[in-house]
Amino acid sequence: MKSSKTVLLLMVGLALSWGLGLTAAVAKPIKIGILGPMSFTQGEGHWNGATMAAEEINATGGITVGDEKRLIELVKVDTNEFLSIPDATNAMEMAVSRHKVDFLMGGFRTEAVLVMQDIAMESKTIFIGCGAAHPKLCTRVMDDYDTYKYWFRLTPINSSFLGKVDFILLGTAGAIIKQQLGIEKVKVAIVAEKAAWADPIVAAAEKTIPEKMGMEVVGVWRPSPVATDCSAELAAIQRAGAQIVFTTFSSSVGLTFAKQMGELKIPAAPVGINVEAQKSGFWEATNGAGNYVLTINTYAPVKITDKTIPFYNKYKELYKEAPNYTAGTHDAIQILAQAIKNAGTIKADNVVTELEKIEFIAASGKVKFDKSHDVTWGPDYVTALGTQWQDGEMKCVWPYGWEGVTYEGSVPFKLPPWMVEYWKK
Amino acid sequence: MIVDILIDGLIKGSVYALLAIGFSLVLGVARIVNIAHTALYMTSAYLIYVGTKMMGLPTIVSMVAAVFLTILLGLLIYNYFIRPIQEHEAAMLISTIAVAMMLQEVFLMIFGGHYLGVNPLVRGYLTVLGVRVTNQHLLALGLAIIVLISTRFFLMKTRTGLAIRATAQDREVANLMGMNVNGVAMITMAVSVGLASIAGAIVVPLVTVEPTMWMHPLVMMLAIVVLGGLGSLEGSFVGAYILGFSESLVVFMVPMGSFLKDSVALSIMILVLLIRPEGLFGVSFEEER
């Protein structure tokens, strides 16, 4: 009797452990490492976007992999890349070797992402870039496909396309100034932070604006990316009689410049790239002085696709701020989930093949990766946006009839009223 | 262009002067090397942000509260991180660097790396000789002058000021004469931190509040104090304007090189030191020995 009880207990124990083991095997989650400077807005965007997508997919049971459903487990990887590139390298090493993540996404500073990319490629882990714009990250795929095929860039569009959008915005503002103020030759002041990524834009602007756009460049100013005062630059710009200030800012100087320009009511339209103006906290941080700043952006409450407004609103509701471009991790996880489903496995090589084929309607537009694994830019794909602060609200003002594209909810670009008043005199 | 340079330099110089006076006082008069001075200026800025934006208090109330709370923090720092090692300048230097870094990390942890803004006390701008200047900048100019005069008056015309100067001249003799040297040092520290937080209250609406905002002013403060001469408030004042004008000159003369304005300002400091090592208004090192 005693022995039969023991046997029964053993059987139950075995069955339970086998069953539990089976359950564990079924539920083994897919680990995705989210890389970003987590104490900063960009890292928060990475993490929030990814969290939102993971929760949505997990609520449906997880990612379909062959015949099973697997949940997503996110691993927060603080790269601290704003302050230290070695920190980013160490964090990446830890994600790959200690946390043994299956996929990676995020990254922000090109200098850090280039190193992190190498680590990911060495371990043959798919890495979807959601932050760095430098073309080199993708030209590497063309130069050495076998090594770099695990890299894809989803957001932002690369810096060459950013440059194109930048000049389109400038041309749009120039045309409106000509039309509304009757100014024949619009004067442009080029103001770009002194950083490597801004140099090609400045060089192109100096050549393109007078030669191809029929406008006049009245000067080029290159403040430090962390300048705390731009009043001298603004006084000089006003003296030069500029009607447009063509900005290229990704650092804190963008906030300082916009704030002081608005407070001094400089009679010119700020147009270009100002990463600080992409954040919903910009209005409050400038005490409203950032009114009429126009910048390239990725998300706005307009209908780029059916997914854009629901994503934008839900993100804002959950995190009390508008999504910035690093929140593209939301799209990245959804695209990855689709590619895994199509591949029926999480094996990197199979998923790469599926990602190369995919055409996915995301919140930022229709995503298709080109031969260099870069996100395709164009009227039928991801276009990027031009957003302008208008009385406390971030409004989409571009595309507005560009190549037949106007997203529902977009409004026309507005000139600052003090500028109109000044130049009409 | 000359008018632009003059006005812009004057405004910039005033902002620097406002920041430098407290630093100069504590370094030059009390011989306390407080590298955390600008980190306390940052503390004041964050407290004002908390008061105005998070608690919805009126700006002026937040500013007054921030000044007092920062002084309290400054005194705690003095008591635990400076006073025990006050006789060892190198140790004091390292200790205050550590305090500054600690404050930076605390603010980074609480507020993240977000760039925040504080409302100005006065809005709008004035056009002075064709140059637009914000009213907040003009306020900084006026306050810099008032603070300098008040500090000068406090040091030269009050008994406490006399005690501070006497302790600074010879701590041991002052002690033997029956003065409470620790108390005097504490008062000096309180005045200095008070000046840092007042500077914070006035300057903060002009800049961006973020966890590394203390670094750039620190470099400029060190340059100004060395340029003007250690121990000289007037020297700091003049030094601040020299750097202010040189920065404006760079932006107007070499727009493409406007990022070099700090480097040019620091080069001027080195140049002055090569010609006059004691700084513009400082006591010569030989004499001091």
Provide the pLDDT for residue A58.
96
pLDDT at A22: 45
Domain assignment present for A354: yes
Task: Inform me whether the pLDDT recorded for B22 exceeds 90.
Answer: no
Query: pLDDT exceeding 90 applies to what percent of chain B?
Result: 17
Average pLDDT over residues B198-203: 82
Chain B residue with CA closest to A234: the answer is B132
pLDDT of A5: 55
* Listed residue (A126, A162, A152, A165) closest to A370, CA to CA: A152
Kindly state the average pLDDT of the residues A349-368.
Answer: 96
Q: What angle do CA B87, B93, B94 make, to 5 degrees?
A: 115
For residue A415, is pLDDT > 90?
Answer: yes
Per-residue confidence at B120, pLDDT binned at 50, 70, 90?
A: confident
Considering the domain architecture, whether residues A43 and A66 belong to the same structural domain is answered as yes
The nearest alpha carbon in chain A to B254 belongs to A221
| Residue range A231-256: mean pLDDT, rounded | 90
Q: What are phi and psi of B128, to 5 degrees?
A: -110, 115
The verdict on residue A57 lying in a domain is yes
Please determine, for residue A23, whether its predicted confidence score (pLDDT) is greater than 60: no
Give the H or E element holding residue A367. strand A365-367
Residues of A in contact with B116 (CB under 8 A): 281, 285
Number of domains in chain A: 2
Summarize pLDDT for A38-70 with one digit per residue, the tens: 988 889 999 999 999 999 999 999 999 998 999
Say how many CB pairs under 8 Å bridge A and B.
119
* Chain A residues with beta carbon closer than 8 angstroms to that of B11: 231
Lookup: tokens for A358: 């995919």
**Domain check: are A225 and A350 in the same one?**
no
Do both A169 and A289 map to the same domain? yes
DSSP annotation of A388: E
Cis status, amide bond into A412, omega within 30 of 0: no
A222 vs B53, B205, B257: nearest CB:
B257
Quickly state the pLDDT bin for A185 (edges 50, 70, 90): very high
Whole-number Å distance between alpha carbons of B288 and A219: 50
Confidence at B136, pLDDT banded by 50, 70, 90 = confident
What percent of chain A has a predicted confidence (pLDDT) above 70? 94
CATH number of the domain that residue A286 is part of: 3.40.50.2300
**Same domain assignment for residues A279 and A413:** yes
A201 with A243, same domain: the answer is yes
Query: Which of A24-33, A173-182, A277-286 has the highest average model confidence (pLDDT)?
Result: A173-182
With 50 as the cut, is the pLDDT of residue A7 above it?
no
Q: Tell me whether residue A228 is in a domain.
A: yes
Q: What is the DSSP letter of B284?
A: P
What whole-number percentage of chain A has pLDDT above 90? 73
| Domain chopping of chain B, boundaries | 2-211
Q: What's the confidence (pLDDT) of residue A27?
A: 63
- Note whether B150 contacts A: Cβ–Cβ < 8 A: no
A-chain residues within 8 Å CB-CB of B246?
Answer: none
Chain A interface, best mutation among B208, B221, B256, by max A CB count within 10 A: B208
- What distances in angstroms separate CA B83 from CA B31, B33, B67, B86, B152, one per listed residue? 12, 11, 22, 5, 25
Nearest to B117 among A220, A231, A287 (CB): A287
Whether B289 has a pLDDT exceeding 60, the answer reads: no
Q: Which residue of A has its CA nearest to B125?
A: A264
The overall average pLDDT reported for chain B is: 84
Q: What pLDDT sits at residue A143?
A: 96
Above 80 in pLDDT, residue B169? no
Are A98 and A213 members of one domain? no
Question: What's the mean per-residue pLDDT of chain A?
Answer: 90
Secondary structure class of A56 (helix, strand, coil)? helix
More confident call, A82 vs A182: A182
* Residue range A263-293, pLDDT digits in tens: 999 999 999 999 899 988 899 888 899 999 9
Do residues B200 and B44 lie in contact, with contact meaning Cβ atoms separated by under 8 Å? yes
Pair (A135, A184) in one structural domain: no
Q: What is the mean pLDDT of residues A219-238?
A: 87
Q: Minimum mean pLDDT among A19-23, A363-367, A369-373, B221-225: which range?
A: A19-23
Residues A404 and A348 in one domain: no
Long-range contacts of A1-4 (CB under 8 A, 24+ apart): none
What pLDDT score does B283 carry? 58
pLDDT in tens, B84-113: 887 788 898 899 999 999 999 999 989 888
Closest CA to B45 of B22, B70, B23: B70
Residue A205 lies inside a defined structural domain of this protein: yes
Q: Is the model's pLDDT at A18 over the cut of 60?
A: no
How far off is chain A from B37, nearest CA to CA, in Å?
18
pLDDT tens digits along B25-52:
787 667 788 889 999 999 999 999 999 9
Residue A271 lies in a domain: yes
Which residue in B259, B261, B263, B264 has the most chain A C-beta atoms within 10 A of its own C-beta, making it the best mutation to test that interface?
A: B259
A167 plus A46 within the same structural domain: no
CB contact under 8 A, A287 and B213: no
**Option in A82, A194, A234 nearest B259 (CB):** A194
**Is the pLDDT confidence value at A10 over 50?**
no
Residue type at position A201: I
What pLDDT, in 10s, does the model give residues A97-149? 999 999 999 999 888 999 999 999 999 999 999 999 888 999 999 999 999 99
Q: Which residues of A touch B (CB under 8 A)?
A: 37, 39-41, 44, 82, 193-194, 219-224, 226-229, 231-236, 238-239, 252, 255-256, 259-260, 263-266, 276, 281, 284-287
Calculate the alpha carbon distances from A131 to A105, A107, A302, A324, B94 in Å.
Answer: 9, 6, 22, 10, 37
Q: Is residue A87 part of a domain?
A: yes
Q: Are strands A393-398 and A385-390 parallel, antiparallel or unpaired?
A: antiparallel
Range of the domain at A407: 160-297+384-424
CB contacts, 8 Å: A219 with chain B: 255
> Residue A26 — very low, low, confident or very high, per pLDDT cuts 50/70/90?
low
**Please, which residues 95-124 of chain B have a Cβ atom closer than 8 Å to chain A?**
108-109, 112-120, 123-124
Same domain, A125 and A182: no
**Of A357, A196, A249, A49, nearest to B208 (Cα)?**
A249
Judge whether residue B77 has pLDDT over 50. yes
Q: What is the mean pLDDT of residues B244-268?
A: 81
Q: Compute the average pLDDT of residues A70-94.
A: 92
Note whether A411 and A277 are same-domain residues: yes
The gap between the terminal CA atoms of chain B, to the nearest Å, is 46
Do A276 and A413 belong together in one domain?
Answer: yes
CB contact under 8 Å between A232 and B115, yes or no, is: no
Whether A8 shows a pLDDT value over 70: the answer reads: no
Residue A10 lies in a domain: no
Sort out which chain A residues have CB atoms less than 8 A from B216's CB and list them: 226, 228
> What one-character-per-residue DSSP string does A250-302 give?
-STHHHHHHHHHHHTT-SSEEEEEEGGGGSTTHHHHTTTTTTT-EEEES--SS
* HEC letters along B171-212: HHHHHHCCCCHHHHHHHHHHHHHHHHHHHHHHHHHHCCECCC
Q: CB-based contacts of A80: which residues, under 8 Å, 6+ apart? A: A37, A38, A39, A87, A88, A91
Asked whether residue B81 carries a pLDDT value surpassing 70, the answer given is yes
CA separation, residue A146 to residues A121, A124, A164, A387 (Å): 9, 10, 30, 39
The residue in chain B having the minimum alpha-carbon distance to the alpha carbon of residue A41 is B114
The 3-state DSSP class for residue A198 equals helix
pLDDT, residue A12, reads 47
Rounded to a whole number, what is the distance in Å from the CA of A256 to chain B's nearest CA? 6
Residue A132 lies in a domain: yes
> Of A26-30, A266-270, A376-380, B48-52, where does mean pLDDT reach its minimum?
A26-30
